[in-house]
Structure 1
Amino acid sequence: MFQFDRAFDARLDRLNPRQRLAFMAALCERLWPNYALYVQTTGHGDASALRSILALLWESLAVKQARIDFERQAEKLAQLEPPAKDDSFGARRALEAVTALAAALDTLRGEAPEAIHEVSLASRGGVRAFIELTEGEEDETRLTALVQEHPLMADERNFQWAVLETLEENSLDGDTRKALRQLGRNEGVSNLGLSLD
């Protein structure tokens, strides 16, 4: 079984800047349904606007000389955050999607070497929070074991490893980008196993 460990982190660190961006974009794709569900249930935010910014991220990978004002996109993204007073589970997961995309934009706007780890951890953290919420285990030791063995966390591990290995084994051409985007979209199912359907 795949694990998140120092070896995984070290392999993330060895990716070149474009590969790192592609890794983050794939994870953002998988976080997007959580944001869209929050918008659908509360009326706060704009799922299509978040999707548009994510599409520009993929475009920057496809067209090296793409003229995209990422400062402006970052400003737009900040306006898509859930209201600060909303501390609901859905708002926190929606905020993870926004924050992950913001971290990816930061890499395009300058140096953000830790962004790839932040996005990886945000996705994992959302899965852990969902397991804690749905399983209701109080004992910390049992909860940690439960999280590690839970099918959603296993799926998260397998997904992140699959993205990493795809990037390590292939050049970042059109076919690879398409495959990564499709992997991230996961037929509309998020890292929490939720979909708009």
Structure 2
Amino acid sequence: MAKPGFHQRLQALTLRQQQAFMAALTERMLPNYALYADTSGHGDLAGMRAILDLVWEQLTVKDAKIDFDLQAEKLGELEPPQQDDSFGARRALDGVVALSAILDTLRGDAPDAVLEVSKVSKAAVRSFIELTEGEDDAEKLAQLVKQHPLMEDENDFQDAALEAAEEEPSKKHVKALRKLGRNGGVSNLGLTLD
């Protein structure tokens, strides 16, 4: 019998496991937001960090009482300005979208959120490779993206996060996933604030 694919495994996770997986991916996208906020003067890294920390708290503290409707309102104010169509703004928005998807699952029903966050992270890497490699031939570009070290790293990271999320989501496992997501301060695009 064939082993279930990545997406089937993601969807087979419990809601809490999915939230932990999404939080790890969002954690890894946070340096992109930080760089945008740092270079553009828009955004609020402390605000993003605070909301993501509350997500982690919800995953580790059994009876945490957090108003995620309020957090979603606060998150809406952290988006890059709509008129900013820069690459940095789009990657900062990826982090906001990913965090918003997690909040949706904490506030109610969002069955495809886990797939959305996985795709957002991969699409960001693809866009970065397309931007930096400057290949015009679509076929060559697709091959380049597939074999690019950043995309291989992204796939490996998501596989590792999924494996970690498949464990019983104890406090210890959630903390390990958080550490994995922090990735030594390096984002899914290979960028760091340093």
* Structure 2 length-normalised TM: 0.97
Mapped to 2, the partners of 1:117 and 1:76 lie a distance apart of 24
Q: Which runs of 5 or more structure 1 residues have no equivalent in the other structure? A: 1-5
Letter in structure 1 aligned against 2:80: P
> What is residue 171 of structure 1 aligned with on the other side?
168
Which runs of 4 or more aligned residues in structure 1 lie more than 6 Å from their structure 2 counterparts after TM superposition? Answer: none
Deviations 1:21-62 (A, max 9, x none): 000000000000000000000110100110000000001101
Letter in structure 1 aligned against 2:22: M
Question: Could you say what secondary structure the match of 1:107 adopts?
Answer: helix
Q: 2:192 aligns with which of 178, 185, 195?
A: 195
Please state how far the C-alpha of 1:64 moved relative to its aligned partner.
2.9
Please state how far the C-alpha of 1:183 moved relative to its aligned partner.
0.6
> What is residue 83 of structure 1 aligned with on the other side?
81
Please state how far the C-alpha of 1:172 moved relative to its aligned partner.
1.1
Mapped to 2, the partners of 1:38 and 1:74 lie a distance apart of 21
Letter in structure 1 aligned against 2:149: P
Mapped to 2, the partners of 1:97 and 1:151 lie a distance apart of 21
Please state how far the C-alpha of 1:117 moved relative to its aligned partner.
0.4
Please state how far the C-alpha of 1:66 moved relative to its aligned partner.
1.0
Mapped to 2, the partners of 1:166 and 1:24 lie a distance apart of 12
Q: RMSD value over aligned CA atoms?
A: 0.8
Letter in structure 1 aligned against 2:154: E
Mapped to 2, the partners of 1:120 and 1:167 lie a distance apart of 13
Mapped to 2, the partners of 1:182 and 1:22 lie a distance apart of 12
**Equivalent residue pairs, number:** 191
Please state how far the C-alpha of 1:175 moved relative to its aligned partner.
1.6
Identity over the aligned pairs, expressed in percent?
Answer: 61
Question: Could you say what secondary structure the match of 1:68 adopts?
Answer: coil
Letter in structure 2 aligned against 1:100: A
Q: For 1:143-162, what aligned pairs fall within 5 Å after superposition?
A: 143-162=141-160
Q: Which runs of 5 or more structure 2 residues have no equivalent in the other structure? A: none
Q: 2:33 aligns with which of 20, 31, 35?
A: 35
